[in-house]
């Protein structure tokens, strides 16, 4: 009978871990911090589907020469100066801390990671494993699936496991774009913000992060899932269809992206005499540079230049009561069978 040698490290009692995973963040707004972050992000072939040698020639040349400075200026407008970090990191850590508190009595460890930047997925998976977590629930904070977001996270998790001698067992929470619990809490979150306004918006715009149109044609379900989220949200809010629009933002490069483009739609609304618009961002669980700078600042300027008066960027779920209820419900559901005392929320 084979036994472990006397000097073999003691195997810790098995535990369960939860890892919240968000897109990513630079460590600072300076040129080199932005360049490192953008290089990692834009080198992902799930994000930019071009032949690697050709794309790296373009990326490491003109793009990473000029874009870090531009992106750094955008991040500086919304940077959390008190903690010297991006709002995305602030909110994601707050979500993880809240979940850790809610699951403390269960002995479950909760942590967070970023697909790009720090803390990285390999580091946090290894940290959970070092802490005895041989089973880990991974929750990508993307309600809708895209190969460039959720798909990339799963790729990175797979690469992480490949490098490990002792691999934990992983579960990845599926996309929750049409989950009744998600829609109900999202609608409540939106409704609470609209009810707090002195005057309700004339038009409510659901703006999603865009992807190149060719991704849709290749079979990516993101566009369809966004449209379903938008429809279910409107129905839950009981918002009039003629006062509701869906758009896609953040296009980059010369290719055609999913339409309508958010900036063009906002300009058209201003030119049509609409005075007050509210924008909700159902593709983002946490506020980030795309919502706080591109929408709250950029689209506000676009709207005013087109003749509109006020654009309200509604806060993302972040660590609100509604957002935390969604996270807890998704986690408890995925823990079933691993932790018998957990019940579906």
Query: Could you tell me the residue ranges of all domains in the chain?
Result: 15-176, 180-313
> What pLDDT sits at residue 301?
97
* Cis amide bond preceding 260, omega within 30: yes
263: phi > 0 → left, psi -120 to 50 → alpha, else beta; which? alpha
Distance from C-alpha of 331 to C-alpha of 176, rounded to nearest angstrom = 12
Same fold, 15-176 and 180-313: yes
* Mean per-residue pLDDT of the chain: 94
Is 281:63 a contact under the CB 8 Å cutoff? no
CA distances from 173 to 127, 142, 214 (A): 20, 10, 26
pLDDT at 1 over 50: no
Q: What is the pLDDT of residues 138-156, one digit of tens each?
A: 999 999 999 999 999 999 9
> Please, which pLDDT band fits residue 253 given cuts at 50, 70 and 90?
confident
Q: Return the number of other C-beta atoms located less than 10 Å from residue 155's C-beta.
A: 16
Distance from C-alpha of 291 to C-alpha of 68, rounded to nearest angstrom = 19
Q: What is the pLDDT of residues 306-318, one digit of tens each?
A: 999 999 999 999 9
Domain 180-313 has CATH 3.40.50.1400: yes
pLDDT at 94 over 50: yes
- Please, what CATH class does the domain formed by 15-176 belong to? alpha beta
**Counting runs of H as helices and runs of E as strands, what totals does the chain give?**
13, 8
pLDDT at 5 over 90: no
């Amino acid at each position: 009978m084979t036994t472990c040698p006397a000097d073999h490290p003691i195997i810790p009692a098995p535990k369960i871990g939860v890892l919240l995973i968000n897109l990513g963040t630079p460590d600072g707004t300076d040129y080199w911090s932005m360049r490192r972050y953008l290089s990692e992000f834009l080198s992902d072939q799930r994000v930019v589907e071009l032949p690697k040698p050709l794309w790296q020639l373009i990326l490491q040349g003109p793009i990473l020469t000029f874009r870090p400075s531009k992106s750094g200026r955008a991040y500086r407008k919304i940077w959390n100066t008190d903690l010297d970090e991006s709002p995305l990191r602030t909110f994601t850590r707050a979500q993880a801390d809240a979940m850790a508190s809610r699951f403390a009595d269960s002995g479950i460890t909760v942590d967070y990671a970023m697909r790009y930047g720090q803390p990285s997925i390999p580091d946090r998976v290894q940290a959970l494993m070092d802490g005895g977590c041989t089973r880990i629930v991974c929750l990508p904070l993307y309600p809708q699936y895209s190969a460039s977001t959720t798909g990339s996270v799963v790729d990175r998790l797979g690469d992480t496991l490949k490098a490990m001698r002792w691999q934990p067992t992983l579960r990845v929470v599926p996309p929750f774009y049409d989950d009744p619990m998600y829609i109900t809490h999202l609608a409540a979150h939106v409704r609470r913000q609209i009810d707090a306004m002195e005057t309700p918006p004339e038009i409510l715009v659901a703006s999603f992060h865009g992807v190149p149109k060719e991704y849709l044609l290749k079979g990516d379900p993101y566009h369809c899932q966004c449209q379903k989220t938008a429809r279910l949200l409107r129905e839950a809010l009981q918002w009039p269809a003629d006062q509701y629009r869906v758009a896609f933002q953040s296009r980059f490069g010369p290719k055609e992206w999913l339409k309508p483009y958010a900036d063009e739609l906002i300009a058209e609304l201003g030119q049509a005499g609409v005075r007050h618009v509210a924008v909700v961002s159902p593709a983002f669980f946490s506020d980030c540079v795309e919502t706080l700078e591109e929408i709250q600042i950029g689209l506000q300027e676009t709207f005013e230049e087109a003749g509109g008066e006020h654009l309200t960027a509604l806060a993302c779920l972040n660590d609100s009561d509604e957002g935390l209820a969604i996270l807890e419900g998704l986690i408890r559901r995925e823990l079933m069978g691993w932790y018998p005392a957990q019940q579906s929320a």
